[in-house]
Structure 1
């Protein structure tokens, strides 16, 4: 029997702690893979042939080994901020937009209702785009102000005016700055919402009608009290396979659009490995640092 659950609230601390720890592990695995590649490349002598001036530079100790520390630490810190803010935004938006709904049969995720999933995820993406656009506008604003205040040599002004048919002066530069600010603060969030909605709807549709014919994401929830549930276990292989097929199909669509057909294969390999590691890490960490807890109704 299908049991539809709506994620009403995400408990911030368990979600943030688990997400950051898993991404730190993925960062460590990525660093180790990069170290192996660097060792192989340096041993082959390719770097010395391509850049003789770097022949005496030890890429293993200079780059590879530091990455083993840097990538996990940076991944952990960044994910703490992103996860906490994203979960907070989700909790604030649910009463207004509705939460993500999951149609479950036992531990099998049978369907992701498209509109509910796409609406709130694209709204969160739009808010992040607004934050990023605001920071970029604040960063660029002093430069536009400085340029608009500088005197422009007459010969340059005349040449640009003749080529564009528009008088070039400080006020025009200021207007361009205002336009760029509006595009970053208003245009970027709108684009993020529209394209995010389309992309997430496509993701849900592909899962609902194609992926589940081969594999299904599996989530083992346990009721703690009332509407509070914890995600106790994630079956590794079926979930990794389902996610890999999902993103492989998305990669196929993207590859057709940009003529990069190899994205289908690379997406499958990358998402299978990353999801398997993440699920395995979650199952190991849940009893030790606490599982993700959600209010489901």
Structure 2
């Protein structure tokens, strides 16, 4: 029998530690794949291209260091802020709800709570990023404009400050609003598809262990159920959102290019999503005994 559970809070430290650890390992995997690609390319380079080969070797060393470390640091910040925002927003808008079967399988996800929560978190994160990025971009564009017109005439300089302010306003206000709308629609469609498909192909399965009070630790995530339902849902969503791009290609008279993009996007989503989510679940299960699992307060 399905029971509705609300995620009242997320333990910030375990969530951050697990998310950043998984991101670091994925970054290492990406680095290894890129290094292998660079190695294959360097094999086919002519002997005269020794400089390019040495640059590629240097790039390979940089990748093996930068990607894992960069992924870890970025995930530490984003995961910490995400969990913090979730806990702060729950008392105001309510938490994400899960339709659980015997506390083992997520059979349904109510659409509005998950869409509202995720869209607000993504919007706030985007707003915080834009507060830093927008002034830097505006100043850079103004500097480039000043350099380009200084050699000719000084006319139009009075409008640069106004354009910079307008650009900052667009990035700080307009971009978060766009993220709010798009992320809400994306989350809602994904939740609707999940609710339709989960009873037929099975939902995400989770093995919990009870902590203190209403706190539960996710002890294990079976990789196959997670990968199957996530892959099917995200592939269908990509299919829906790829249709406007296909229509645009057709209108432009490039049907072959549009069809190639469309099929590549769908097939790529199908394969890549299944592999990534399977690896993530496997990494979670391997690392949980060592660093602890994600802890949720369920009510």
Moved more, 206-215 or 276-285: 206-215
Seen in structure 2, the aligned counterparts of structure 1 residues 288 and 154 have a Cα distance that, compared at 3 Å, is closer
C-alpha distance after superposition, 1:113-168 (max 9, x if no partner): 11000001100111112112211222144457768999x779857xxxxxxxxxx6
Q: How far, CA to CA, are the matches of 1:58 and 1:153 in structure 2?
A: 40
Query: How well do the aligned residues superpose, as a CA RMSD in angstroms?
Result: 2.6
* Match in the other structure for 2:97: 101
TM-score by length of 2: 0.86
Which residue does the alignment assign to 1:161? none
Contact 1:232/1:286 (CA < 8 Å) preserved in 2? yes
How far is the alpha carbon of 1:2 from its aligned partner? Answer: 0.7
- Structure 1: 5+ residue stretches without partners: 158-167
Verify the 8 A CA contact 2:107 2:198 in the aligned structure 1: no
Alignment of 1:153-172 (within 5 A): 169-172=156-159
CA contact (8 A) 2:138 2:167 kept: no
- On the 8 A contact 1:126/1:192 being kept in 2, the answer is yes
Q: 1:153 to 1:248 in 2, by over 3 A?
A: closer
Consecutive unaligned residues of structure 2, counting only runs of 5 or more, are 247-261
How far off is 1:199 after superposition?
A: 0.8
- Contact map agreement 1:9 1:91 (CA 8 A) in 2: yes
The 1-side partners of 2:233 and 2:81 are apart by: 26
Distance, in Å, in 2 between the alignment partners of 1:134 and 1:272 is 35
Maintained 8 Å contact 1:6/1:296: yes
**Which residue of structure 1 aligns with residue 255 of structure 2?**
none
| Counterpart residue number, 1:245 | 232
Deviations 1:163-204 (Å, cap 9, x if unpaired)? Answer: xxxxx6344322222211111111111111111101111111
Is the partner of 1:122 in helix, strand or coil?
Answer: helix
Match of 2:57 in 1: 61
Alpha-carbon shift at residue 56 of structure 1 (Å): 5.2
Take 2:244 and 2:46, find their aligned partners in 1: how far apart are those partners? Answer: 38
Distance 1:48 1:96, change over 3 A: farther
2:121 aligned residue (117, 120, 124): 124
- What is the match of residue 279 of structure 1? 281
TM-score (norm 1): 0.86
Report how far residue 59 of structure 1 moved: 5.9
Determine which of 202, 205, 211 is the counterpart of 1:218.
Answer: 205
Match of 2:77 in 1: 81
Question: How many Å separate the matches in 2 of 1:256 and 1:125?
Answer: 24
Q: Distance in 2 between matches of 1:143 and 1:86?
A: 29
- The runs of at least 4 consecutive aligned structure 1 residues that moved more than 3 Å come to 52-56, 140-150, 152-157, 168-171
Partners of 2:227 and 2:278 within 8 A in 1: yes
Could you tell me how far apart the structure 2 residues matched to 1:289 and 1:147 are? 48
State the aligned residue count: 283
Map of 2:241 onto structure 1? 254
